[in-house]
Chains A and B, each alone.
Chain A
Amino acid sequence: MTTVPKLALGPILYYWSKQQVEDFYQRVANTAVDIVYLGETICSKRRIMRTKDWIRIGEQLQAQGKTVILSTLTLLEAASELGALKRLCVESPFLIEANDIAAVQILNELGKPFVTGPSVNIYNSRTLKKLSEKGLLRWTLPVELSATELAEFQQHRPDNVETEVFAWGRLPLAYSARCFTARAENLQKDDCQFRCLDYPDGLLLSTREDEAFLCINGIQTQSARTMNLLGEIDQLIDLGVDVLRISPQSRNTIDIIDRFTAVLSDPQSPKRFDTELEGWMPTTICNGYWNGNAGMER
């Protein structure tokens, strides 16, 4: 008996206005998405939404039947960031997504279970088993690993651990102490003027022959292209993947959720909507990693 994967909406990786965030989750509440990740995972200077705001939105979504998870900061540098992480772990009424081993350690010390996002390095079954002993309930496949590698994982996965796969979005590729958005604007990071607010889908970085290559999102670097595993649903189901993650973008996220929902609810329905889906991507598709190739390849 095969199970149909649940749908998750990843944390918003960009910096949106408060109104935009509120409106977005109002609409998300009416979709069929099962799990919603909330919180700031990129930059501790992005404080339009405070923890209490995320918890309030989370409670609303929970009341509307969603499973809510709070996501933690990926790259921790200042002692104040570690302090904020600790408070979040203590106070969260929801399950937490650890995006750094610091959160894994703190949650383990608190005796709380957790899930991990794509930036926690789980490259082999022994690592997965060790983290499962520490309270891991679900892990996300690192985006640079392939379907073949996932298949190996799934054979040796601990019984009580679920698997999540990044199924739609610009790929999270790197994190830095440096803010590249501020650098592009000729500003110091300490005086960034919150320019990320101007780029709700990040800032495109192209080669000198105008090939869209990367996407700058503050201290994070993403792919310019979009991973889309909707066409691979049969394989994902065969592999026993429990959750598919859609990464939010400023436009068409609801359409994308609806399209995934339609395919998941009717396994016989057509799964390839390439033209329509490419129209919803900021540039074009890249499924290279999933196929065991360079990530940027189709």
Chain B
Amino acid sequence: MELICPAGNLPSLKAAVDSGADAVYIGFQDDTNARHFAGLNFNDKRAAEGVTYAHARGAKIFVAINTYPQVSGFERWQQAVDRAALLGVDALILADIGLLDYASERWPDLRLHLSVQASATNPASLRFYHENFAIQRAVLPRVLSVKQVEQVIRDSPVDIEVFGFGSLCVMVEGRCLLSSYATGQSPNTFGACSPASAVRWKETPGGLESRLNGVLIDRYADGENAGYPTLCKGRYQVENKTGYAIEEPTSLNTLSLLPELMRIGVKALKVEGRQRSPTYVKQVTRVLRAAIDTAKQNPENFKTKVEWIDALERVSEGAQTTLGAYARPWQ
């Protein structure tokens, strides 16, 4: 099982490679990728340095071009595909059917992975992308239980990559419009969820308030930890009860599932977080490298070590972790 780690800049890329990532995924500095944040991501020069650095150390570079090009901007996405191909990267991570069509036609020898943003959750969908665009791997949305992942792998024509750690999308990726409903910008169209430009913080007599384009996402009492106002992790009212109606601020952590994910045939484990710091990347990569190696050597007696858990919880959103949809009760 390969370990795939995120990098939003060159120091993070180097940290991932140095800490044992098998591959690092990056994006360009525009809305062609799903982490379109100010000050983040790679220009061609930095990306070329990253490719050289990784290849010299036996690691791969994937480029995510995984937003949905709109009618008027399709050329920019085409150019992103061409730029990545010319950089000599090891794979592209794509979601849009039109862009997959372009990439497979223009660069037939370039390896294509299906992004989680394509929202493909089942073998029939994977067959569509495999037959039409010769994708070689797909990243599964975070909506399947372990048993369901196993069923998909059994009937999938391509290798399967799953999320192992990081911020948790509660909704099936690629089909969540909550962010554009509130702000006009969504992961699909703009490459950002609950974008920072729409966030406002305000101290009020009732507590610290976080708003997204005016919508009250949460209000914190004194002493409560305030988190980034991701729309699906706010506190709302449903039938006169106030609480985390959609999800708590929490991170996905699959440490305890690693031997099981290996057993069912997961080919790669993905870490979320291109927007996070080089320290996060280093910490998470190190722990997961050690954990995967341990699980490979002795899957039957695999036990998560306390220091791994501590290290991961220190960098988790909301400082708590979950197995997410992998575990049935979460659903």
Give A contacts to B, CB under 8 Å. 74-79, 81-82, 85-86, 100-106, 108, 119, 121-131, 142-145, 149, 152-153, 156, 171, 173-180, 183-184, 188-190, 203-211, 213-214, 216, 221, 223, 288-289, 292-296
CA distance A149 to B213 in the complex (A): 23
User: Closest Cβ of chain B: how far from A143's Cβ, in Å?
Assistant: 7
Centre residue among B102, B119, B242, B331 by max chain A CB count within 10 A: B331
B183 touches A294 (CB 8 A): yes
Closest Cβ neighbor of A105 among chain B residues: B128
Residues of A within 8 Å of B97, CB to CB, are 121-122, 126-127, 130-131
Q: Is B294 an interface residue (CB 8 A)?
A: no
User: Closest Cβ of chain A: how far from B324's Cβ, in Å?
Assistant: 8
Given known contacts A126-B99, A180-B246, A210-B237, what 15 new A-B pairs fall within 8 Å (CB)? A75-B175, A82-B122, A82-B123, A102-B122, A130-B98, A131-B97, A149-B70, A175-B171, A176-B143, A180-B245, A190-B331, A205-B245, A214-B236, A288-B184, A294-B183
Q: If the complex has contacts A177-B144, A293-B184, are A211 and B215 also in contact, measured as CB distance less than 8 A?
A: yes
Q: Is B167 an interface residue (CB 8 A)?
A: no
Indicate which residue in A106, A119, A128, A204 contacts B124 across the interface (CB closer than 8 Å): A106
User: Closest Cβ of chain B: how far from A276's Cβ, in Å?
Assistant: 25
Which 10 pairs, one residue from A and one from B, show the smallest C-beta to C-beta distance? A126-B98, A102-B124, A152-B71, A123-B68, A295-B181, A177-B143, A127-B98, A105-B128, A177-B325, A174-B171
Residues of B within 8 Å of A292, CB to CB, are 184
Interface residues of B in 142-166 (CB under 8 A from A): 142-145, 148, 151, 155
CA distance A82 to B118 in the complex (A): 18
Q: Is B40 an interface residue (CB 8 A)?
A: no
Closest Cβ neighbor of A204 among chain B residues: B238
Q: If the complex has contacts A178-B170, A211-B216, are A121 and B68 also in contact, measured as CB distance less than 8 A?
A: yes
Residues of B within 8 Å of A103, CB to CB, are 124
Interface residues of B in 295-323 (CB under 8 A from A): none
A126 touches B70 (CB 8 A): no
CA distance A25 to B170 in the complex (A): 34
A124 touches B98 (CB 8 A): yes
Q: Is B172 an interface residue (CB 8 A)?
A: yes
B331 touches A179 (CB 8 A): yes
Residues of A within 8 Å of B98, CB to CB, are 123-130
A203 touches B70 (CB 8 A): no
Residues of A within 8 Å of B43, CB to CB, are none
Q: Is B74 an interface residue (CB 8 A)?
A: yes
Residues of A within 8 Å of B245, CB to CB, are 180, 183-184, 205, 216
Interface residues of B in 197-221 (CB under 8 A from A): 213, 215-219
Residues of A within 8 Å of B148, CB to CB, are 77-79
CA distance A190 to B329 in the complex (A): 8
CA distance A183 to B245 in the complex (A): 7
Q: If the complex has contacts A124-B98, A149-B71, A178-B170, are A82 and B175 also in contact, measured as CB distance less than 8 A?
A: no
Residues of B within 8 Å of A293, CB to CB, are 184
A123 touches B237 (CB 8 A): no
CA distance A128 to B145 in the complex (A): 32
Per-position 1/0 for B172-196, Cβ under 8 A of A: 1011111011111010110000000
Q: Between A and B, how many residue pairs show CB distances below 8 Å? A: 221
A124 touches B246 (CB 8 A): no
Closest Cβ neighbor of B235 among chain A residues: A208
B238 touches A205 (CB 8 A): yes
Centre residue among A203, A205, A213 by max chain B CB count within 10 A: A213
CA distance A214 to B143 in the complex (A): 21
Residues of A within 8 Å of B276, CB to CB, are none
A173 touches B96 (CB 8 A): no
A124 touches B96 (CB 8 A): yes
A124 touches B216 (CB 8 A): no
Q: Is B12 an interface residue (CB 8 A)?
A: no
Q: Is B79 an interface residue (CB 8 A)?
A: no
B216 touches A75 (CB 8 A): no
Interface residues of B in 71-108 (CB under 8 A from A): 71-72, 74, 95-99, 101-102
B238 touches A76 (CB 8 A): no
Closest Cβ neighbor of A74 among chain B residues: B175
Residues of B within 8 Å of A79, CB to CB, are 148, 151, 155
Indicate which residue in B119, B170, B180, B236 contacts A205 across the interface (CB closer than 8 Å): B236
B181 touches A127 (CB 8 A): no
Residues of A within 8 Å of B170, CB to CB, are 176, 178
Centre residue among A82, A105, A149, A296 by max chain B CB count within 10 A: A105
A295 touches B172 (CB 8 A): no
A178 touches B330 (CB 8 A): yes
Residues of B within 8 Å of A174, CB to CB, are 171-172, 175-178, 232
Residues of A within 8 Å of B129, CB to CB, are 101
Centre residue among A76, A108, A123 by max chain B CB count within 10 A: A123
Residues of B within 8 Å of A131, CB to CB, are 97
B174 touches A121 (CB 8 A): yes
